[in-house]
Amino acid sequence: MATVGIFGGSGLYQLLTGAVEERWIETPYGPPSDKVVLGELGGRPVAFLPRHGRGHTIPPHKINYRANLWVMKSLGVDAVIGPCAVGSLQKHIEPGHVVLCDQFVDRTSGREDTFYEGPIVTHVSAAEPYCPILRAHALGVCQRRGMAVHGTGTMVVVNGPRFSTKAESRWYTQMGWDIIGMTQYPEAYLARELELPYINISLVTDYDAGLVSEGAEAVTHEAVLEVFAANIENLRGLLAELVETLPETSASPAKTALTGARLA
């Protein structure tokens, strides 16, 4: 069993310490992205699952988000951490900064995004999709570590795998949204459906395409990986301290997400 679940990607596969066990877990929703890796981080038992699969072989629109979240729920975790790489839509949010999302805007399509397909109709509120307890804790850890951090932010989630056109990116910027990514929906919302407190930690790797005309270069996959690699040790250290000092989450709004949500 594990107390904390972490989804991650490139550079985080060797995150855990101590005796490490790999386990394949079947789910009612099909296969997860990969085997879950069980070990320790910050002195706590942790489950790590590479959301794109080991070797980064699964594009964001093909990830089986329901299976991945079911794996974490089946392991009994009390909190889920979802670090990811994102692009900035605002000039003051610079590459290398960390954004702790409190909102998302879904611009994806065709993704399996609920566990509740009937016959009991269930409407889970997504008004505040991220756990405020975990976000406040992460903000304090980032500040203690001297990291450039934004304590709130809205991520627009696009389907991928393509990056945005300049027109799309400028529209997102004009809407006032802060960052852009491809994996927070439905991952964050599915965690809420399972009453799992969830936090996003977004590492900004680039300026998105709409800022090209103001001096920034258009995003490329190579550039994203370069900035991510340069900051991976900071992210590992942040995750270790975050897990080691994780607060009690029993009062998280996620724990009562299903209260009053079912029409039965």
- 106 catalytically annotated: no
- 78 catalytically annotated: no
CA angle at 117 for the pair 111 and 122, rounded to the nearest 5°: 110
Question: What number of other Cβ atoms are within 10 A of residue 137's Cβ?
Answer: 19
Catalytic choice (34, 102, 106, 206): 206
Short-list 227, 192, 169, CA closest to 115:
192
Distance of CA 12 to the CA centre of its chain: 13
Burial class (CB in 10 A: 0-12, 13-18, 19+), 120: exposed
Catalytic choice (34, 106, 178, 208): 208
Q: How many helices (H) and strands (E) does the chain have?
A: 5, 13
d(CA 202, CA 94): 12
**CB-side neighbour CA atoms (13 Å) of 32:** 24
d(CA 72, CA 152): 25
The helix (H) or strand (E) run that includes residue 149 is strand 149-150
- List, by residue number, the catalytic residues: 206, 208
